[in-house]
Chains A and B, each alone.
Chain A
Amino acid sequence: MLNVNNADVFYGKHQVLYDINIELEAGIYGLIGENGAGKTTLIGLITGLLRPKNGSVTWNGKDINKLGNSYYDNIGYLPQFPTLYSDFYSKDFLEYMALIKGMKKKEYKERVDMLLEFVGLSDEKHKKIGAFSGGMRQRLGIAQALLNEPKLLILDEPTAGLDPSERIRFRNILTDLSKDKIVLLATHIIPDIENVAKNIIFLHRGKILAIDTSDNLINNINGKVKEAVISEDEYHRINRQRISNAIYEDGSYKVRGFLDNITDAIIVEPGLEDVFLYYML
């Protein structure tokens, strides 16, 4: 179990995370927030790259700073836009990562081949990473994160820049992984976690707005999300920040969102994107 207890994080004098309290157990957690919300900073806190000015981060009740390097036996981390080492072959890269994770040769030899198979890169093991597409790099990044069979897997924007087929492939891999570990998936692309993450953490400007299951969060805004067809004039008049989607058709706009001021709007079933918008308002 991972706990973040009353943590404040500063960059110099500028506070970036405010009184963060999180408890993570086995399962997939979606960490959602707009760009600049503090997702990567929160991940830095959890991975020990950053230290809180106040508060603490504990793993199974022990402060991670006191655990030292042994904490990293439990972590697999894939940061945003991993460039990896372009001049390495994929298999060499995984073997290198296995060594710096403290694995012995007899431990990692089979595991490297298995993981390349798992992420669909076993035919590319003798190709240099520099020749990989973005999706292939992401998959290799996931493979390196899984080398040491971590109990805590942290993926920061893992689908950014991927095409739809790569994103589907990634979601399928994620589902296989989540059985007995904590998976923290940070993203601002809601569809990527909508059907995968049971628990959602909403982060906005360094503060946690909500932590709950996606079902509960959606149920909380039941009856508040509406759709309506409005004229172009009306569209330019309304508060766009309350609109989650708008489609232009034949001179009018079909809008969806929190349309309290539109009388003939009809109530629709909310989704996670609507929840995100709700907390941004």
Chain B
Amino acid sequence: MIRYELKKIVNNKFIVVFLVLFFCLDIFVMISKNIGQINYISSKQYDNYRRLYNDIRGDITSEKVKTLQEAKLNMEVYGLYPEVAINTINNNRDYEKRAKDVVDMALDNAYTYNLINQQNRYINSICIANIFRDRHIDCYYETDGIDEYLKYDYSTIIVIIIIIMSINILWINDRKTEMYRIVNTTYYGKNRLNVIKVISVLIITVISEIFFRILELITFYIIYRFDGISQPLYSVKEYADTLYNGSIISAMLIDLLLKILGCIMVSLIVAICVLLVRNTILAYGLAFILSIVLRYPVKSFDNYRMFRSRNVYIIKDYLFTDISIMILIGIIPLVSMLMLLVILRCYKSVI
């Protein structure tokens, strides 16, 4: 049955036209917001520098630094790009010391909090010290653009519109065309079919979010040509102070997962409102209000802030950062989905 519900959505002319339009719009927005970077990489000197970059990327060695310093002197061929690279390498080399300074300061704070018997702050400081301990950046990669990618969120609006259009196709259209009269007089029409429709909307949501996020990743990669996504997130200058010790690629996957969970929650809110409220405008209005109200505690669309956060929470002797809290809160949509499936199994629609 899911196959046919998906077919209703995928075969719909309006969705196809919408997808094509907003696919182009998404690319246009990305390009226009990063036009400076496009200019930056459009020079002959940048091309020359990229050829040099292939030799100097990876482990930082004194030979590579020497190569860059020589290139820095040849501004006609390489422009200012080698100087930028040298500054980044210096920052990377200094990172270990900075991390050690953070550890030392955290341990000093821990000592003080222990003396004045502030146990929560003591544990907090010890946790920060442990997080920053042993941090170092031994490699050089071009990581500009990763922050821009993590901050970019316009596709979420597109996915939400796709969710609304899908729900419109699966439920509202049945009401408008009176197909509900045929559907609701079948064995599965009132209960199981609604469950199947919800699952279909969720599948479309997940596929749409993944599709647009991959599109954005490819576009940002083309614009910025970033590299080294297996490196720790803290190797990206905007995330130098992050509490997250995982790799850039794992941060991207967490970002994707949280966006998917956020979109699932929006799907469920809209689906429940449309199922329970007969008036279409009221249903969408209610869904809109609920989505905004619930957005505040469940911020699964501004994930880059979460990666930059220095907040640490101690709950029942367990350490949580904003990232882990968000992942846990992100499970709420899955629980809501199970509850909705139970409700729909029991729900009997009566006109």
Does B184 sit at the interface, judged by CB under 8 A? yes
Does B315 sit at the interface, judged by CB under 8 A? no
Return A113 CB to nearest CB of chain B, in Å. Answer: 18
Decide if A73 touches B187 in the complex (CB within 8 Å): yes
Does B193 sit at the interface, judged by CB under 8 A? yes
Does A36 sit at the interface, judged by CB under 8 A? no
Decide if A72 touches B185 in the complex (CB within 8 Å): yes
Contact A77 B185, CB 8 Å, known A88-B7, A99-B1 = yes
> How far, in angstroms, from A238 to B181 measured CA to CA in the complex?
43
Return B88 CB to nearest CB of chain A, in Å. Answer: 53
Return B121 CB to nearest CB of chain A, in Å. Answer: 60
Which of B1, B11, B190 contacts A69 (CB under 8 A)? B190
Return A58 CB to nearest CB of chain B, in Å. Answer: 17
Which residues of A56-85 are within 8 A (CB) of B?
69-70, 72-73, 75, 77-85
Contacts of B178 in A (CB 8 A): 79-83
Decide if B188 touches A50 in the complex (CB within 8 Å): no
Decide if B1 touches A72 in the complex (CB within 8 Å): no
Say what secondary structure dominates the interface of chain B.
loop
Does A260 sit at the interface, judged by CB under 8 A? no
Contacts of B179 in A (CB 8 A): 82-85
Contact A100 B186, CB 8 Å, known A79-B178, A85-B179 = yes
Contacts of B351 in A (CB 8 A): 44, 49-50
Q: In the complex, how many residues of chain A place their beta carbon closer than 8 angstroms to a beta carbon of chain B?
A: 33
Does B183 sit at the interface, judged by CB under 8 A? yes
Which of A80, A83, A101 contacts B188 (CB under 8 A)? A101
Decide if B181 touches A99 in the complex (CB within 8 Å): no
> How far, in angstroms, from A60 to B12 measured CA to CA in the complex?
42
Return B195 CB to nearest CB of chain A, in Å. Answer: 12
Chain B minimum-CB-distance residue to A73: B187
Contacts of B186 in A (CB 8 A): 72, 97, 100-102
Contacts of B177 in A (CB 8 A): 83
Contacts of B11 in A (CB 8 A): 87-88
Contact A100 B183, CB 8 Å, known A50-B351, A51-B350, A79-B178 = yes
* Residue from B1, B4, B179 with most neighbouring chain A CB atoms (10 Å): B4
Known A72-B185, A96-B1; further 13 A-B contacts with Cβ < 8 A:
A44-B351, A47-B185, A49-B185, A82-B182, A85-B8, A87-B7, A88-B4, A88-B7, A92-B4, A99-B4, A100-B187, A100-B188, A100-B193
Report which A residues bind B (CB closer than 8 A).
Answer: 44, 47-51, 69-70, 72-73, 75, 77-85, 87-88, 92, 95-97, 99-102, 141, 144, 148
CB<8 Å pairs between A and B, sample of 25: A49-B184, A49-B350, A69-B187, A69-B191, A72-B185, A78-B182, A80-B178, A82-B178, A82-B179, A83-B179, A87-B8, A87-B11, A87-B12, A88-B4, A95-B4, A97-B182, A97-B186, A99-B1, A99-B4, A100-B189, A100-B193, A101-B188, A102-B186, A144-B182, A148-B187
